[in-house]
Every structure is written in C-alpha cells, then in structure tokens.
C-alpha cells in the first residue's frame, strides 16, 4: 500500500487547495520539473518537464517529448473540497463566545462537520517592504468546533434536521478575551498583525488519515474527493517517464465544487493558455496543434459513489462499484460525464495491458447524478475524454472512506495511460 501511504501524507500536507498545489509542486520539483511563471517568458527543451501555477490553487505540469508532440496524454483532477470559507474573525452574537463568520463552499454533508476538532488553512496576504505577498498558513492546533444543539433541546433531531448555514454552522472559536484569528495568523507567519491585509482561509478537519478493517482494506481521511485522484494521477505522471512521441500533461484545477467558472477553474483559459504558449515556443503551426489535440486523450479524474452497505438500493442495479474493485469509469446519458463508448473502450484496453481492474459506474435512471470538471474543460479544449476515479463512501462528508488498494490501481492506470502510444488513424479508429 505504498501509494496509499503516500496519498495519506499528501492529504495531511494539503489542508487547502493552496497547500495541495504547493505539495504537488514540491513533488514535481523533486522529480526534476522546472517551475515556470505565467508573467515571465518561457524557454522550453524537448524531453524536459515543467509546471506553472495560477492563483496558487491550480497547477498544470507537462513533460515534452524529444520532438514535436504528435498528441497529448492529459489528466485533470481538482484541488478543492466542500468546506466553509472564513469571512470574518468575529460573528456578532453572545459576547461571551467568539465565533468566526463563515460561508459554505460547495455542497457538504453539514452533520458530518459537527462536534469535531477543526482548524483553518489557506493563505494570507501580507504587506512587505516591496509590496504584497500571499503566504500559506495552517494553524496546526485543535482550534475550532461547530457544536450541535443538545438532543434535550431538539427531541426530534434524529428524525431529520434542516441545517441553516447562518444559524447552525458558524464555528465556535474561543471564549471572550482570547487572541483574534488574525493575531494567530500573524504569529504563525512571523509578521505584525497590522501587516495582514487579507486572507483566503477555509475550515479543515483535524482527523489524520487512518486505515480501517482487520486487513487495513479501507482508509479514511478528509478530502479523498478529490485529492485521491489528484495524487494518484501525479504519481502516474512521475513514474511513467517520458514518451518518445507524445506530450504528457497533468492538471490540478481549483473551484470544481462551485462550478469551475473562475480564472483558475476548469472553465478558465489556463489549459488553452499553456498549450498555446508551448506550441508557440516549439514552433508548431496551427494545423500541427489541432492535429495533436485530435490525437489526444484526457482522463477527467474524480471519484464515484461506491455501493453503500446500508443503502444498496441507491446504486444502479446494473452498474455497481465497490472499494478495491478497480478504477471506476463513469458514464451518463446526460453527458454530465465525458465518457463515450470509444473513449471507455480505449481506456479499458490500456488498463488491460497494465493488468488494472476496471469497473463501471452509472447513476440510477431515477436519480440525477453529479458532474465534474471534464465536461466543463471540454468547452475550452476539445479533446476526447473519459471520466475515471475511485469508488468511495460518504462523498462530501467532512471525512470520507475508500478502498486502500484503489489509489495504486488508479496510479498504475495513469502511468500506463501516460506511456501509451496509441494513435488516432481515422475518426473512431485507434491503433497501438
């Protein structure tokens, strides 16, 4: 379970999207990738790896072939998870309590956030002698909780509760007289409190990733959706090595949980901008670039719902996926997922060559499913795609559960995909 061990470490080091990108960048640099800045000129060499970040919360890495790329092997995952964004140090109310003012980010299971140790993570914008600088911050202590109302005061709570975000979900920070959150942030960064100009902070659970089961067949952690895919795809890139004819791209986008429509989301120009700059530096013609895109494939990597042991009827009778059952391929007639029969077949052939098991997920015909970043990214970069991921339980809860063998399956599948030198010879025909 080496991959899962490393994934757990990645999750621990990634309490916010900013930390997830920072952790991924560190792994890329350790593997020899060179950092590029969007605001600076790019000089590129064939056979080398590079990466760039945007808003500190999205990242695109790429490895070039020795010559002009005949196509691209791409993966895309997201760095964000449902949580609560801190709006203000102080929520007005009972003067004996200090509470933070927060707002929900994404669709979370509110009950799972109650009565557990929480803290904050993200970035703070600091005044410097030369201007301003955004710095990562993680307050490594059991700092907050969102206390539930005692059952004695809501006798029918076990019959269901309609959570009001403004009333029920504002976290208790301290008792009156304690230091402010801004003060703690300044202390953690070693700056004066007055030099904190702004911040992007989110709540994060304090539970560390753990194995479950008599044979450690499951693992539990915050943010498995979608850091599980983010890490597995990155490991696949790093272990695959270079390709003689095809370029390799790894994307980690922010804001998937709120629609991806931001400067750093999948709907942004981040990936088209990177492809355009690479094409210009390499001297590719417009026709060369379009041919390479047609000869590409992208894995949109986000997790799917495993059959729930207590609610098996919620799963589609014909397409049921389980932890440790292998990589999940997700399909939807609504096209909320990008998978087609052709891309699913091509991906299955790649996995068969790598001896990686595959299972198919679809929602019940009477249950509307979710969506992910692939179909939105396709509006910016028109390449064939397939939606893949791992099977997991309790998606969008504060802490989630998945199979401990599945991260390795997905990493191996991604490595095989990055190495695969299939070619589109005609519409609907691929050759290895």
Task: State the CATH number of the domain containing residue 135.
Answer: 2.30.250.10
Section 298-302 average pLDDT: 97
User: Is the same domain home to 358 and 228?
Assistant: yes
Number of structural domains in the chain: 2
Burial 362-394 (b: 16+ CB within 10 A, else e): bbeeeeebebbbbbbbbebbebbbbbbbbbbbb
Can you give the pTM of this predicted structure? 0.96
User: Is the same domain home to 190 and 139?
Assistant: yes
User: Which domain range does residue 167 map to?
Assistant: 83-205
Position 371 scores a pLDDT of 81
Structure tokens belonging to residue 242: 């270079």
User: Is the same domain home to 39 and 110?
Assistant: no
Q: Does 211 reside within a domain?
A: no
Position 220 scores a pLDDT of 98
CATH code assigned at 393: 3.40.630.10
Per DSSP bridges, beta strands 400-403 and 391-393 are: antiparallel
pLDDT tens digits along 249-292: 999 999 999 999 999 999 999 999 999 999 999 999 999 999 99
Q: Does 214 reside within a domain?
A: no
Structure tokens belonging to residue 291: 């041919």
User: Is the same domain home to 187 and 292?
Assistant: no
Mean pLDDT of the chain: 95
Separation of first and last alpha carbons in the chain: 31
Position 304 scores a pLDDT of 95
The span from the CA of 299 to the CA of 206, in Å, is 31
User: Is the same domain home to 99 and 75?
Assistant: no
Q: Is the pLDDT of residue 127 over 80?
A: yes
Q: Does 421 reside within a domain?
A: yes
User: Is the same domain home to 297 and 426?
Assistant: yes
The percentage of the chain sitting over the pLDDT mark of 90, rounded to a whole number, equals 93
Structure tokens belonging to residue 22: 């920072």
- In angstroms, what CA-CA distances link 301 with 390, 406, 420? 9, 13, 17
The span from the CA of 80 to the CA of 255, in Å, is 6
């Amino acid at each position: 379970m080496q991959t899962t061990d490393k994934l757990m470490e990645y999750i621990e080091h990634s309490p916010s999207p900013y930390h997830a990108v920072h952790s991924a960048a560190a792994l890329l640099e350790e593997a020899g990738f060179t950092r590029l800045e969007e605001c600076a000129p790019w000089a590129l060499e064939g056979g080398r790896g590079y990466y760039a970040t945007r808003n500190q919360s999205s990242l695109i890495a790429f490895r070039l072939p020795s010559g002009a790329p005949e196509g691209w092997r791409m993966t895309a995952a997201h760095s964000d998870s449902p949580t609560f964004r801190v709006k203000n140090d102080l929520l007005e109310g009972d003067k004996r309590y200090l509470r933070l003012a927060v707002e929900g980010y994404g669709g979370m299971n509110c009950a799972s956030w109650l009565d557990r140790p929480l803290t904050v993570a993200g970035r703070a914008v600091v005044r410097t002698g030369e201007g301003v600088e955004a710095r990562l911050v993680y307050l490594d202590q059991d700092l907050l909780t969102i206390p539930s109302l005692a059952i004695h005061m809501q006798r029918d709570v076990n019959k269901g509760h309609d959570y009001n975000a403004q009333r029920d979900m504002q976290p208790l920070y301290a008792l009156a007289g304690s230091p402010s959150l801004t003060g703690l942030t300044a202390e953690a960064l070693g700056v004066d409190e007055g030099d904190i100009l702004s911040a992007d902070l989110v709540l994060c659970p304090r539970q560390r990733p753990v194995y479950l089961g008599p044979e450690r067949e499951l693992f539990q952690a915050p943010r498995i959706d979608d850091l599980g895919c983010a890490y597995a795809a990155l490991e696949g890139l790093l272990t695959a090595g270079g390709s003689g004819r095809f370029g390799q791209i790894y994307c980690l986008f922010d804001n998937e949980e709120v629609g991806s429509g931001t400067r750093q989301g999948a709907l942004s120009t981040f990936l088209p901008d990177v492809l355009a700059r690479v094409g210009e530096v390499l001297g590719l013609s417009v026709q060369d670039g379009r041919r390479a895109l047609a000869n590409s494939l992208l894995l949109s990597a986000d997790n799917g719902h495993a059959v729930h042991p207590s609610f098996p009827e919620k799963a589609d009778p014909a397409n049921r996926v389980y932890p440790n059952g292998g990589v999940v391929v997700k399909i939807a007639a609504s096209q909320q997922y990008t998978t087609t029969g052709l891309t699913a077949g091509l991906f299955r052939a790649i996995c068969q060559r790598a001896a990686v098991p595959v299972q198919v997920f679809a929602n019940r015909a009477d249950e509307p499913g979710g969506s992910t970043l692939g179909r939105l990214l396709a509006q910016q970069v028109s390449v064939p795609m397939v939606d893949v991921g791992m099977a997991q339980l309790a998606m969008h809860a504060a802490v989630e559960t998945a199979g401990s063998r599945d991260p390795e399956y997905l990493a191996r599948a991604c490595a095989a995909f990055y190495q695969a030198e299939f070619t589109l010879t005609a519409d609907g025909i691929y050759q290895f």
